[in-house]
Structure 1
Amino acid sequence: MTARTILITGASSGIGRATAELFLANGWRVGLLARRADLLDEIAAGHEGALSLPADVTDAGDVEAAFDAFMAWAGRLDVLFNNAGTFGPSGSIDEIDPAAWAQVLAVNVGGMFLAARAAFARMRRQDPQGGRIVNNGSLSAHVPREGSVCYTTTKHAVTGLTKTLSLDGRPFGIACGQIDIGNARTALVEDLTERARAEGRPVQPTMDVAHAARAVLHMADLPPEANVQFMTVMATTMPYIGRG
């Protein structure tokens, strides 16, 4: 059988990297999209089934060129893991620089839009038609952390994107789901942990990032007739229920 294909944004580190490595280990052909070419090449080294796609998700031209290169290499796109994101500055809304707000919006909403747009167009036109988009939301798509106005606002927008893509994709066999991950041990979560320590706040429980990667693989590996619309995977004792 021909190997299935996935393109992962934000693939150079954190959840994206862990997911890319798991998919490669399971025989998928994997497109690795992020800004850092050196880190992408490091992941791809020794894998014939990996393609480095250095690109900025906030640049429409970059995104289109990366998807074109992926299609030329892989032949089709079965799954997009729409993962690239940034937390941005912490603080109450009056403490946030508008330029910083715009940057978080550009990555977490604009980048998600551009990658989903590129994937949708190719899935709609490939033969056989269809595919799957998995958006990386967050527990912040449901309940906020303190001082997270930029991140929380954008992650609520991702939920709206997911629902709309699910509806608009039906005629073309394009499924869309969202994974909301809580406290996987990545550089971003470690940074939040250090901020909490510095501010004298409780440090939250975390989980191995591998659990998040396995959850994405489960969503991606479903047959076309099935879809995980929303999945929450998190550190068991983190304060999600009761938070907000």
Structure 2
Amino acid sequence: MTAGPAGRDTDTGAATGPGTGRIGVVTGGGGGLGRASALALLAQGWSLALAGRREEALKETIALSGAGPDRVIAVPTDIRDPAQVAALFRTVRAHFGRLDLLFNNAGAAVPRRPVAEVDFDDWSKVMDTTVTGTFLCAQEAFRVMRDQSPQGGRIINNGAPSAHSPRPNAIAYTTAKHAVLGLTRALSLDGRPYGISCGQIDVGNVDPADGGPQPAAMQADGSMAVEATIPVARFTESLLLMASMPADTNVQFLTVLPTTMPFIGRG
């Protein structure tokens, strides 16, 4: 029996070290839903590589977790750059020995504007991060999961209700999340021969991270209204459910949102 760097037997895949031996990557791990997800996964025994552009923010997440370097590492990465993404997954393989989960969380937000007023730089920022970055990370994770032994793994993409039903004045974000939906479906199909599953979590309004009031959002009729929110724990509980499924089971799509939040028909 040969033990891998992160406590997995490289011949059988059995866990041999601390925790459960499950290895994951979380992008955008320096704050928001990425930080909350990383902390929840670590608390459940996962070992993680946290990716993001701000190294200090990633280190803050690690400090909050209390986990040691055998369980969690920070890998500063601009997911829009193919070379940096490839380096991220090389680091994961070198440090942990395999990959069981990718949570594709990183994205970009820009001001909402009517179609005619959308700035090209804003459009490009959203597409490059949310679409291209998600694809690049999924592609590298797919390669690792396909080639490792035992084969397989799970990719979870962070979508949004806007992947199914748009809000007004949000064409870049809506288009990007529809593209993520397409990526999820294509990855799920193409991963079947290799035991690679792909699902998507679409979360509605979450309590503001700063504890402040929820800002008003434009409704389908053009009016503004403050909508209901849910605690971030409802999101992490949903993510943990998806991540904990056995290899023969996939949660294809999971939408979690406040009961009274406008979604179906956005009205």
Whole-Å separation in 2 of the counterparts to 1:108 and 1:243 = 23
Deviation sequence 1:148-197 (CA, Å, 0-9, x none): 1010000000111001001100011100001111112245997982676x
TM-score, with normalisation over the residues of structure 2?
Answer: 0.86
Q: 2:246 aligns with which of 208, 212, 223?
A: 223
Whole-Å separation in 2 of the counterparts to 1:186 and 1:8 = 21
Whole-Å separation in 1 of the counterparts to 2:171 and 2:205 = 18
Q: How far 1:79 sits from its partner (Å)?
A: 0.4
Whole-Å separation in 2 of the counterparts to 1:70 and 1:240 = 38
Whole-Å separation in 1 of the counterparts to 2:211 and 2:259 = 15
Show structure 1 runs of 5+ residues with no match.
none
Q: 2:177 aligns with which of 130, 152, 155?
A: 155
Q: How far 1:66 sits from its partner (Å)?
A: 1.1
RMSD of aligned residue pairs (Cα, Å): 2.0
Whole-Å separation in 2 of the counterparts to 1:188 and 1:157 = 30
TM-score, with normalisation over the residues of structure 1?
Answer: 0.94
Aligned pairs for 1:162-241 (under 5 A) are 162-187=184-209, 193=215, 201-241=224-264
Relative contact order, higher structure (CA 8 A, sep 6+): 1
Contact 1:10 1:16 in 2 (8 A): yes
Q: What's 1:131 paired with?
A: 153
Q: What's 2:40 paired with?
A: 22
- Aligned residue pairs total 242
Q: How far 1:84 sits from its partner (Å)?
A: 0.5
Change (3 A) 1:108 1:191: farther
Contact 1:5 1:30 in 2 (8 A): yes
Runs of 4+ in 1 over 4 A off after TM superposition: 186-192
Contact 1:79 1:220 in 2 (8 A): yes
Q: How far 1:241 sits from its partner (Å)?
A: 2.2
Whole-Å separation in 1 of the counterparts to 2:213 and 2:89 = 31
The residue identity in structure 1 corresponding to 2:81 is D
Deviation sequence 1:88-141 (CA, Å, 0-9, x none): 220111111111101110001000001001100000000000000001110000
**Which has the greater radius of gyration?**
2
Q: How far 1:200 sits from its partner (Å)?
A: 7.3
The residue identity in structure 2 corresponding to 1:237 is T
Contact 1:176 1:229 in 2 (8 A): yes
Identical columns (%): 48
